[in-house]
A and B are shown apart, each in its own frame.
Chain A
Amino acid sequence: DIQMTQSPSSLSASVGDRVTIACRASQNIRSYLNWYQQKPGKAPKFLINVASSLQSGVPSRFNGSGSGTDFTLTINSLQPEDFATYYCQQSSGTPPTFGQGTTVEIK
């Protein structure tokens, strides 16, 4: 199975900050990388697929990049509604696997 590793596991930031979350795959997954946002007690929300394609309705302050084994989710100008846990997930093969999550907390 392809292992997905996110860093950091958690971070504290303020409204208006720029936040970067890293995701590394244990093997080359080309651009088959998705990002999800999950708020407490809620289902995950699909944010980005194929590494950099924003889903409809996702604010443009979210940006995904990378290919191969190293990927990044950047949130520019963090907003109050962005405090949540973010997961990367590879869709390159079966089984699809998720990173362990990165929780963005209010500083």
Chain B
Amino acid sequence: QVQLVESGGGVGQPGRSLRLSCAASGFSFSDYAMNWVRQAPGKGLEWVAVVSHDGSNTHYGDSVKGRFTISRDNSKNTLYLQMNSLRAEDTAVYYCAKDSDYFGNYNFDSWGQGTLVIVSS
């Protein structure tokens, strides 16, 4: 079955960087778009970014545009989120979520367990 395992979370200082990874298994990774969705403590869900099945197309939420970069390595079945210029408001659990389509139709049909990012000095 589909398995998504995030890693790379932890404490990051404001203005610094972190890189999250999501290891995928149980499906043909290169056939599906992938997303990052985050959830601040005690809050709702916020979509962060999507990358198409081949990595050629990406889209970002306004709150992270210009600071975060989503990418993937299909040879390693791994999704990434490079987070630069961290802000306190980036503190959240970050989930990778499989899309149901090549290019991203925003049907998040499988989710990882999440990795917690805390931005604090």
A interface residues, Cβ below 8 angstroms from B: 1, 34, 36, 38, 42-46, 49, 55, 87, 89, 91, 94-101
Contact = CB atoms under 8 A, between A and B. Distances in A.
B112 A43 contact: yes
Given A89-B45, A97-B47, A101-B44, A44 B108 contact: yes
A87 B44 contact: yes
A44 B94 CA distance: 12
Contacts, number: 53
Interface of B: 44-47, 50, 59, 61-62, 95, 100, 105-114
A42 B93 CA distance: 11
Nearest to B96: A43
Nearest to A4: B44
Q: 9 closest Cβ contacts across the A-B interface?
A: A91-B106, A43-B111, A96-B106, A98-B45, A46-B109, A96-B47, A101-B44, A100-B44, A49-B107
